[in-house]
Amino acid sequence: MRCTHRAAGFLVDAEQAQALGADTSSAEALLVHEADGGLELGLYLAPDVLAECPSGALGPFCQLAEGVSHFLYLARSAELSRPVSLLELEAQAEVDKFALLLLRAWSGGRGGWAAVLHRTLFDETHLRAGLTTLERRRYGEANRLARAFCARLLPLCAARRLEQLLQVLRYAYRLGAAAKLEHFASS
C-alpha cells in the first residue's frame, strides 16, 4: 500500500510557513495541525534547497529527502490511524536519506561505495546551531538507530542484492512505533 498524498501538493512558501508558525531559518519544516479528528499538513522547503537539489549537491538533496520523508511517513501513518513519535519520524527520515542516495547511485556503485555513503551520512554529521537539548538528543538518537539499521544493509549492497535490500527497507518502513525503533536498534 502506498501513501495517496504527494508532498508537492502540500508545499508552502516562506510567507505561508511563517504565518503558520514555522521557523523558516531551517531548510525544511513539516507543518502539522490536528483538529476535529483530522490532520492538516504543509511542507516548507527553503528556496535554496529547491534550487540546488537538481544539481545533485548532497546537502540540499538530504534536506529535501528529509522533508518529503517526514511528510509521507506522517501522512501514511495518519491514513492508518497510527500514532507517530518524533523520534520515529526522524529515524525513518535518516534511513530514507540513506536509501534514496544508495538507490540513486546503485547502477554505478562498486566496492565500498555504500560504506562510504554510510560513513558520510552517519559519522560526518553536524547538528545545526540553536537546537534545544531535547532536540539534540532526539536527532542524536535517530542518527544512532538509523546508523545501526543501515549498517546491516551494507552486506546486501556489497553483494549487489537489490531485491533483498528493497524487501528489508519495505519491511522496516511498515513497522510502526516501538517495533520500528527496536528493529532499527537490533543487531
Mean pLDDT calculated for residue range 88-100: 97
pLDDT digits (tens, 9 = 90+) for 23-64: 888 889 999 988 888 888 999 999 999 888 877 788 899 999
What's the domain count of the chain? Answer: 2
Q: What is the pLDDT of the chain when averaged over all its residues?
A: 90
Which residues touch 147 (CB under 8 Å, ≥6 apart)?
94, 118, 122, 123
Of 55, 83, 111, the one marking the end of a domain is 83
Q: Is the pLDDT of residue 1 over 60?
A: no
What's the pTM value of the predicted model, to 2 decimals?
A: 0.92
**Residues 149, 75 share a domain:** no
CB 32 within 8 A of CB 46: no
The owner of cell 529527502 is 65
Instruction: Count CA within 13 A, CB hemisphere, residue 55.
Output: 9
- Are 147 and 169 part of one and the same domain? yes
Residue 25: per-residue pLDDT: 85
Q: Are residues 52 and 129 in the same domain?
A: no
Do 74 and 88 meet the contact criterion of CB atoms below 8 Å apart? no
Are both 47 and 99 inside the same structural domain?
A: no
SS3 of 37, please?
coil
Asked if 167 and 128 sit in the same domain, the reply is: yes
Q: Which residues contact 10 (CB under 8 A, 6 or more apart)?
A: 41, 42, 43, 71
Question: Based on the domain organization, do 45 and 135 belong to the same domain?
Answer: no
Digit-coded pLDDT (tens) for 123-181: 998 888 888 999 999 999 999 999 999 999 999 999 999 999 999 999 999 998 899 99
Write out pLDDT tens, residues 42-51: 999 999 998 8
- 71 and 33 fall within a common domain: yes
Same domain, 149 and 109: yes
